[in-house]
Amino acid sequence: MLQKRLQERIDKKKQTLDDLRPLPAAALQRLQDEILIEWTYHSNAIEGNTLTLQETRLILETGLTIGGKSLREHFEVTNHRSAIHFVQGLVEDHQPLTPVVVRQIHHLVLAHIDDVSAGQYRRLPVRIAGSALTPPDAWEIERLMLEWGDWLGGESRLLHPVARAALAHHRLVAIHPFIDGNGRTARLAMNLLLMQEGYPPTIIQQNNRGQYYRVLAQADSHQDAALVNFVGRAVERSLTLYLDACTPRTAPPAAKEQWISMREAADGTPYSQEYLSLLARTGRLEAVKRGRNWMTTRRAVEEYQASVG
């Protein structure tokens, strides 16, 4: 289900990260602080929150309120931080993800926003904006969530951890068990599963919102590969970030290991900058996105070229 080259890179980077454990405390704390802010910003922005990344940072770090922004948007930020802390506690205590835990996560997501619905399965029909999928009727939710929990504790364990987390996230969104907050809750649940397997938190970025919704729609039609590989590329980004921050540096990286633009990487190869960017977007070439631009290494391009002869 995961594209072969992408899975190989994920597995290799995960093993390298495991070999570095215990990770340097100072570097790990800085990473966790930054990821909490970015995870909160991007997950909320996907759902329509208009606070910027810098405004989100100010709320979380100083407690300031932002003029012109609604109280709900402020609560979405502080609630998401509480939910992340709860998820981190579950990982530390080795607590499994269950339907009850999903409701606890959702209660934190909607606290002070809709206390009546927080943590409660919906009792009303809903539609998912922009989706052709009609969520199940309210009276089916209890049964479907129990089945989701059984799948999670049973046959899903045969899957690669990244595929398992991605599909658990999609199945939860498809059930749409709550009147609001389903997306944020599902992404928190996905990261709980990944973190339990030793992966760093993975962020679905707001600028990938359109692609995110497209691959979810494909999964609605039982075409799961696009979603799994979309999540896989996000997992690889997080692994790269952790490795860059936690790997001891006693000398400058070799020239072939330095991150360079796609324009630079294309020099001296049979590939154009646009083609290398396409390979990066589809996970066939090891790359990271810095801002809006893809970066890769000469080693990665050489490995891709060798793999296709």
What is the per-residue pLDDT across 126-139, written as a single tens digit (0 to 9) for each?
Answer: 877 666 778 999 99
Same domain, 139 and 180: yes
Average pLDDT estimate for 287-306: 89
User: Exposed, middle or buried by CB within 10 Å (0-12, 13-18, 19+), for 88?
Assistant: middle
pLDDT higher than 80, residue 233: yes
pLDDT higher than 90, residue 41: yes
What is the pLDDT at residue 292? 78
1 in any annotated domain: no
Same domain, 138 and 261: no
Whole-number Å distance between alpha carbons of 77 and 137:
30
What percentage of the chain reaches a pLDDT higher than 70?
99
Same domain, 276 and 188: no
What is the pLDDT at residue 133? 79
Cβ atoms within 10 Å, residue 235: 27
Residue 176 annotated as catalytic: yes
What is the pLDDT at residue 237? 94
User: Exposed, middle or buried by CB within 10 Å (0-12, 13-18, 19+), for 291?
Assistant: exposed
184 in any annotated domain: yes
pLDDT higher than 90, residue 12: yes
Give the largest Cα separation in the chain, rounded.
Answer: 62
Same domain, 213 and 272: no
The single residue of 106, 107, 176, 222 carrying the catalytic annotation is 176
**Residue 181: CA count within 13 A, CB half-sphere:** 32
Where a domain ends, among 205, 225, 246? 246
Whole-number Å distance between alpha carbons of 309 and 301:
12
What is the pLDDT at residue 65? 95
Domain around 45? 23-246
**What pTM was computed for the model?**
0.92
